[in-house]
Amino acid sequence: MKRVGVLALQGDYAAHERAILRAGAEPFEVRTLEDIDAAEALILPGGESTVMGSLLVRFGLLERLVKRIAEGLPVFGTCAGLILLATRVEGYTQPGIGLLDVTVRRNAYGRQVFSFRTPVRTKVPGAEKLEAVFIRAPKIIACGPKVEVLAEYEGSPILVRQGTMLGATFHPELVDGAAIHSYLINL
């Protein structure tokens, strides 16, 4: 069984652990350098990207994460996790991983009260139709040439892939099924 780490400094990592179990893999919580090294795939959960970024620096985890992801560790960033992965965050210079060639706009749909869920279509096998949950979600406002768009909503990419990196502006861990988690595990 593949051991899938979930960065567990802050945010909705527990929901991802349940999704990993649904996908038939073994989840574990990542808080140390040893945990990062043990992961065969990694999830960066939703939460608050500024908080996660500063905790990564404070706990001395950022460099090792960048190294492993750059070397091809499959990674899936959802919402705040996508913001951490992005090379550019509009209007911010916050610590992050900076490897997924997209520009994101934080809180692009407005405040918490403007969070919503809506049916979307994706190119991921088994997740052709999906209920997407957006919680103070970012928007991907630009993508580099190596980025493949796997789903869009209202003309903006909401699920993207670049090699072994996946990013979603929504929360697939909060709905039934686990097709996108399975996709990550099999990258």
Residue type, 50: T
Catalytic residue among 48, 63, 128, 173: 173
* CB of 20 or CB of 83, closer to ligand GLN: 83
Q: Which of 118, 126, 128, 94 is nearest to 169 (CA)?
A: 118
What are the beta bridge partners of residue 26?
3
Question: Is 16 tagged catalytic?
Answer: no
* CB of 49 or CB of 122, closer to ligand GLN: 49
Counting Cα atoms < 13 Å in the Cβ hemisphere of 109 gives: 21
Residue type, 68: R
Question: Is 79 tagged catalytic?
Answer: yes
Question: Is 152 tagged catalytic?
Answer: no
* CB of 29 or CB of 40, closer to ligand GLN: 29
CB of 88 to ligand GLN, least distance (A): 14
Under the phi-then-psi rule, with left for phi > 0, alpha for psi from -120 to 50, and beta for the rest, what region is 93? beta
* CB of 162 or CB of 169, closer to ligand GLN: 169
CB of 24 to ligand GLN, least distance (A): 25
In contact, 33 and 61? CB cutoff 8 Å: yes
What sign has the CA pseudo-torsion 19, 20, 23, 24? negative
CB of 83 to ligand GLN, least distance (A): 5
Catalytic residue among 16, 17, 79, 181: 79
Rounded to whole angstroms, how far apart are CA atoms 154 and 157?
9
Residues that bind ligand GLN (CB under 6 A): 46-49, 79-80, 83, 106-107, 135-136
Alpha carbon dihedral 27, 45, 65, 38, in 10-degree steps, equals 0
In contact, 87 and 102? CB cutoff 8 Å: yes
Catalytic residue among 16, 40, 71, 171: 171
CB of 106 to ligand GLN, least distance (A): 4
Active-site residues, by number, are: 79, 171, 173
